[in-house]
Structure 1
Amino acid sequence: MIIQITAAIVATLGFGILFGLNRKKLFYAGMSGGIGWFFYLISLKVNLSEAIAFLAASLSMTIYSEIMARKLKSPAITFLIGGFIPLVPGSGVYYTMYGLIKNDMQMTVQKGIQTFIIAGAIAVGILLGSTICQIYFSKKKKA
């Protein structure tokens, strides 16, 4: 588990470097990928579905990114984009296309639906995380 989380952090750092992220913010962006992968693995360990695991990962990454954005005075997307690299369902898209090429409609439909559900779970996690943070920080400002 620690090796997987470390690999997620390294992958996120690599994309942060590739995208030209400010060196001061690079570490925090890398942590986003590690946090997301941690929540993904923990969700699977407690026997939640894969879609819920992806939702939990993207929700946790979004909340982390929103908090870091306020602390470091930078857009949340700075910490969010690279963090999603380990979570992107690339193999699902690959096997969907592979099934299509091989004319295996069962595999195409199965992998396509699974990939669509994962992508939707990631999107819902981002939406929920952003909404929760906006509500929390707007109430905190008023207080």
Structure 2
Amino acid sequence: MNTSVLLESWIWFGIAAVGFAVLFNVPKRTLLPIFLMAALGGTLKLILVQNTENVVLGTLCGAVLVGFLSIYAAHLRHSPPFVFAIPSVIPMVPGSFAYHTMKGVIKLSGHVNALEFNSLLRETVNSGLKTLFILLAISIGVFAPMLITRRNSAKEINIRIPVLKSKRKS
């Protein structure tokens, strides 16, 4: 991949994430880390998509990188990791695949030529499955590092459940 194209995509990923962060009204001190995390995660995704031709794997790796960086940034900037992670992965959302899925569903719901139907159905299902798996990769990539790096295990968390006592008549 050309270095200028990589730098340009790096900048656009960061700007898009900062735009969503401003829309979500995050603190100003979090904008620079959000820019950097989105730029690094999106660029990693693009590099892996170019080299492996697997958009789901590239998205998963980019989202995992954002997930781990958000934990580090949360400690530095004293904000929850989700403040950093969610705006940073929004530019990775598969808008094009979702658009083609919906366009195919709309065409399939109308009158379609019998010769066209099979290819249109195949393309629609393909785009829909890519959309689904990319969204799953984003959600797993963001939440898995946060679950892995939790300080308390579930066994150490005390949950008090009130016990209802029944009154028996003797």
TM normalised by structure 2 equals 0.74
More helix by share: 1
Residues 1:17 and 2:48 aligned together:
no
Amino acid at match of 1:124: I
Q: Please name the residue that 1:43 is paired with.
A: 48
Note the residue ranges of structure 2 that are not aligned, 5 or more in a row. 1-5, 109-119, 153-170
Q: Please name the residue that 1:71 is paired with.
A: 76
Q: Distance in 1 between matches of 2:19 and 2:143?
A: 26
**5 Å matches for 1:105-116?**
105-116=121-132
Moved over 6 A (4+): none
1:95 aligns with one of 96, 100, 121 = 100
Note the residue ranges of structure 1 that are not aligned, 5 or more in a row. 139-143
Verify the 8 A CA contact 1:16 1:30 in the aligned structure 2: no
Q: Please name the residue that 1:129 is paired with.
A: 145
Tell me the secondary structure at the aligned position of residue 102 of structure 1.
helix
**For residues 87-142 of structure 1, what are the alpha-carbon distances to aligned partners after superposition, in whole Å with 9 as ceiling and x for unaligned?**
001111111110011113222211111111111222221233223332xx66xxxx
Give % identity: 27
Q: CA deviation at 1:45?
A: 3.7
Verify the 8 A CA contact 2:101 2:125 in the aligned structure 1: yes
**For residues 29-72 of structure 1, what are the alpha-carbon distances to aligned partners after superposition, in whole Å with 9 as ceiling and x for unaligned?**
12121121121122224326211101000000000001111121
Residues 1:60 and 2:65 aligned together:
yes
Q: Distance in 2 between matches of 1:21 and 1:132?
A: 25
Verify the 8 A CA contact 2:85 2:142 in the aligned structure 1: no
Number of aligned residue pairs = 137
The structure number with the bigger radius of gyration is: 2
Q: Distance in 1 between matches of 2:144 and 2:22?
A: 28
TM normalised by structure 1 equals 0.87
Q: Distance in 2 between matches of 1:86 and 1:28?
A: 15
